[in-house]
Structure 1
Amino acid sequence: MLYVNRVTETFRLSQHSHEFIELAYVGEGRGFHYIENEVHRAERGQLYVIPIGVSHVFRPSSADDSKEPLIIYNCIFTPQLLESFLPGVTDPPIAAFMQLLKDEAYEFDSIVDVDASIEKLFLALYQEFSLPQSGSTTYLNSLLLQLLVTIYRLINREQRAGLPAESAQPDRFLQVLLYMEQQYAEELTLSHLTQKFQWSERQLQRLFNRHTSQTFHSYLQSLRIRKSCEQLRDSSHKIRSIAESVGYKDQNSFISIFKRIVGMTPRSYRNQFE
């Protein structure tokens, strides 16, 4: 009831429709997406929700796919799989969105993956499908459910963009957290964030307390230490190098903060995984 693949699009496939729901994500390159009687530009980071019975086909920009490949990740699934999900979905808007997909009442949609959240889920889906392990069916279903919730959130965020500032505040603050997730190694300060996101320092600090239960500085330290843990587990880089890569110029300060948050030194933490 669920299938995931990664394909390099060519000119060989004709426009077609399916008896299943398709989520198509542009992983690399650019080209065109022909859907029904319309043509859309297809670029990296674009997600297409293709309901049952809607005809479509992707075309690369160039006939030479070795020079300008258009690579698409596809996640296809049956209405029966969605039906099995619905009893466990406790959020009415999410359930309604899934019901529309299941009942063939949802129109074709296109979404921009502004924060790479969709890309991460597609990569996880493809890896799990290609390299199945014990519990893979359950894990794949959970990833698909996460993907559907993420798609709904992105659609809802676009719809909320025109609402008053107070109504859109959680979405705006989420952008702050996403920005920090990408720029944690830089010289991040509360002052820098206030200038970039047009909030006062007092207001931004209050949002950190409300939505993370931490101050800005505590949240940044936790984020950097979490990123350093990933490197300690997955690489052989020297501790000094890891400290610098997550934003600490002084190794001793890094070790002190790491020990306070994790409860052991970086070396002891790494030794657990060797």
Structure 2
Amino acid sequence: MTIKRPVEAVRGQSLFDFDFPVYVNRARETFALQEHSHDFVEMAYVEEGKGFHYIDDQVVPAGKGDLFYIPVGVSHVFRPADAAAKPLIVYNCVFSLELFDRIIDSHSLLLPAEKADALLAIRSRTTWLRTEGPMADEAGRLMLRLHQEYALRRENRGLMIVTYIIQLLLTLVRSLDEENRGTFAGDDSRMEAATRLIRQHVQNPLSLTDISTKIHIGKRQFNRLIKKATGQTYTDYVHSLQIERCCELLRTTGGKIYEIAEKSGFKDMKHFHAIFKRKLGLSPREYRRRAEQAASVKANAMPEQ
């Protein structure tokens, strides 16, 4: 049985200043943030570390240099690969569709139609987008300057922020050519099939032999490809998905810890506690306690409607 992940709806009015529909931050990603969708556009740049981007029912390996575009309504959340590893640091820039439309309108007055349509191609998307590789350094520089401009709150910062947003959008536009040639965000199709099978059977994981047979490659080749696609061995990748499920159940249900472990595919509690502690750096009980505290603080901080 597939467990549907709970998704929180985030509204721009909770983040934006009343006169400027943009919000920028730099965050260390953890397992505490709930998967969410939103009524604004988001660009997210991975500055440091490795992990996974749970986005629109997919699990995408994420690492330094990845720039993501997340349209309105697409649910997503970042997760670190391992609590003991280098932190997963992500810059997030979110802005309203109204601002996006104003940007497109202003450029349509300055540029030939086919040039202005480049931004419209991004605005019209209903699916997420990622650019990586040669453009990573430029995207990183732009996002750093954008974050600094937003944080310093200097005079005329609004116009500077918009210019950086436009440059980041055009970085994404250029990646569309790669997508159209079939190389965009191009995991090997066999690995896409493999990761889909892994997620479907995470409660009762397939053996290495079974999964390599199902996608018609040898075990040695599969081991090499899964490491390239996810940055982890097959076993570590399965454990990451199982611990992710555990965290969701610990946050959203009152189930006993041993029951949650079993529902997540762990048969041995000693092994479960060891993996959980290695991945997150704390015990399941402590994780649940911190999640409850964070939820309580958030609830108390919400303004009355």
- State the TM bucket, normalised to the shorter chain: 0.5 to 0.7
Shift of 1:161: 9.3
> Match for 2:143: what amino acid?
F
Aligned to 1:132: 153
Partners of 1:41 and 1:120 in 2: how far apart?
Answer: 22
Q: 1:218-266 CA deviation, whole Å, 9 max, x = no partner? A: xxxxxxxxxxxxxxxxxxxxxxxxxxxxxxxxxxxxxxxxxxxxxxxxx
Runs of 4+ aligned residues of structure 1 deviating over 6 Å after TM superposition are none
| Superposition deviation, residue 76 in structure 1 | 0.6
Identity of aligned residues (%): 38
- Provide the TM-score with structure 2 as the length reference: 0.48
- Structure 2 distance, partners of 1:31, 1:92, is 39
- Give the Å deviation of 1:134: 1.3
8 Å Cα contact 1:25/1:47 also seen in 2: yes
User: Which of 148, 170, 175 does residue 169 from structure 2 map onto?
Assistant: 148
Structure-1 separation of matches of 2:148 and 2:131: 23
Question: For residues 98 and 83 of structure 1, do their structure 2 counterparts lie closer, same or farther at Cα, with a shift above 3 Å needed?
Answer: same
Structure 1: unaligned runs, 5 residues or longer = 163-274
1:17 counterpart SS class: strand
Instruction: Give the AA of the match of 2:30.
Output: T
Residue 47 of structure 1 pairs with residue 67 of structure 2: yes
The one of 55, 76, 81 equivalent to 1:61 is 81
CA distance in 1, matches of 2:123, 2:163: 17
1:77 pairs with one of 95, 99, 105: 95
- Listed as ranges, the matches of 1:28-43 within 5 Å are 28-43=48-63
Which structure has more RCO (C-alpha within 8 Å, separation ≥ 6)?
A: 2
Equivalent position amino acid for 2:149 in 1: E
For residues 174-193 of structure 1, the aligned pairs below 5 Å read: none
Which AA in structure 2 matches 1:145?
A: I
**In structure 1, distance between residues paired with 2:33 and 2:72:** 18
Matched residue, 1:27: 47
Q: Structure 1's 161 and 17: CA in aligned 2 closer, same or farther, altered over 3 A? A: closer
When residues 84 and 35 of structure 1 are mapped into structure 2, their CA distance, relative to the original with a 3 A threshold, is same
- Does the CA-based 8 Å contact 2:40-2:94 persist in structure 1? yes
Q: Which residue number corresponds to residue 14 of structure 1?
A: 34
Structure 1 vs Structure 2 CA RMSD: 2.1
Instruction: Go from structure 1 to structure 2 and tell me whether the alpha carbon gap of 1:52 and 1:97 turns closer, same or farther (over 3 Å shift).
Output: farther
Give the number of equivalent residue pairs. 159
Higher CA-based Rg: 1
Give distance in 2, aligned partners of 1:52 and 1:19: 5
> Cα distance, 1:94 vs. partner?
5.0
1:29–1:94: structure 2 CA closer, same or farther, 3 Å change rule?
A: farther
- The AA in structure 2 aligned to 1:83 is D
Amino acid aligned to 2:153: P
After TM superposition, give the deviation of residue 160 of structure 1 in Å: 6.3
Change (3 A) 1:130 1:88: same
Distance in 2 between residues matched to 1:49 and 1:27, nearest whole Å: 15
Q: What is the identity, as a one-letter code, of the residue corresponding to 1:134?
A: E
Alignment-mate amino acid for residue 86 of structure 1: I
Distance 1:99 1:135, change over 3 A: same
Q: 1:99 aligns with which of 120, 128, 131?
A: 120
Which consecutive residues of structure 2, in runs of 5 or more, have no partner in the other structure?
Answer: 1-20, 184-305
Q: Residue 6 of structure 1 aligns to which amino acid in structure 2?
A: R
Q: Normalised by the size of structure 1, how large is the TM-score?
A: 0.54
AA matched with 1:11 = F
